[in-house]
Amino acid sequence: MSNRSIALIDVNNFYVSCERVFNPKLEDRPVVVLSNNDGCAVARSNEVKALGVKMGQPWFQLKDLARKHGIIAYSSNYTLYADMSNRVMSILAIFSPNQEIYSIDECFLDLTGFKRVSPIVYGQRIRKCIRQWTGLPVCVGIGSTKTLAKLANHIAKKNPEFNGVCDLNAMSLRQQEDWFRKIEVGEIWGIGRRLAPKLHEIGIRTVLDLKTASPSQLRARFSVVMEKIIREINGTACIELEEMNPPKKQIVSSRSFGIPVSDLASLEESVTL
């Protein structure tokens, strides 16, 4: 078991969960939050995800599905989301002095050296506190590196038997690899949709495939970033807290269209407003 414990706390379906805090009747209902101008889906409840709605899908494509399944659509309220994010991050700062706010709904905590309770128990305390003080549901992933913490969070979200907290450090190597065998390589932090097809071309389709690949060979084929990812999956910390730039998943003021737009005049009118 590694001596290093990095936790990644992520609010589940953040924008939707914020709306549910202030309207509890939305619990267990299919809810989608739309971008500025109600152009496309920027957050989906689990019920909406189960209907096959994709992130960024235009709202005009979803209206028939919404009528059929009673999907409730909300315009985005970024002032509310920023306030709720600040509350969550302030609470998380209580649990560790070493904190990296990674995005509006994600935060890394360094739990290394915490001895009084197990990381899993501590993770459950974090979940309970956030839920009680803000009403928001979170999942906690714990690993010896930031990349493993991200993977652990993914496992916690997708598998109810973990009750919202997955600690990869508490697993044997064989148990870890059993889980990694089930997770698509595109789910790895830093891989995503852009690099996954290129890895598929050389036979790397799962987390386990990448874990057992040669770091030096893939560095030559891709970049030093790929080498760092592989080493992180194998438990060697290459990405320290606050080292990486914040991701694109942030509050952004932009415009989108509720219907397809093909004429230049309409585009010019919108971007000059």
This prediction has a pTM of: 0.84
What's the CA gap between 123 and 113, in Å, rounded?
A: 15
Give residue 265's pLDDT: 47
123 in Cβ contact with 167 (< 8 Å): yes
Give residue 111's pLDDT: 94
For residue 251, name the pLDDT band (cuts at 50, 70, 90).
Answer: very low
What's the CA gap between 42 and 32, in Å, rounded?
A: 8
Q: What is the pLDDT of residues 68-127, one digit of tens each?
A: 999 999 999 999 999 999 999 999 999 999 999 999 999 999 999 888 889 999 999 999
Q: How far is CA 116 from CA 98, 122, 140, 202, in A?
A: 18, 9, 18, 45
Rounded to 5 degrees, φ, ψ at 206 are -125, 170
State both tokens at 206.
Answer: 């799962």
For residue 2, name the pLDDT band (cuts at 50, 70, 90).
Answer: low
State both tokens at 75.
Answer: 């315009």
Please state which of the four CATH numbers 3.40.50.1460, 2.60.40.790, 3.40.50.2300, 3.40.1170.60 is assigned to the domain occupying 15-77: 3.40.1170.60
Give residue 168's pLDDT: 97
- The answer to whether residue 166 scores a pLDDT higher than 80 is yes
- The answer to whether residue 273 scores a pLDDT higher than 70 is no
For residue 3, name the pLDDT band (cuts at 50, 70, 90).
Answer: confident
**Which sequence spans correspond to the domains of the chain?**
15-77
**Weakest mean pLDDT among 16-20, 137-141, 191-195:** 191-195
Give residue 243's pLDDT: 47
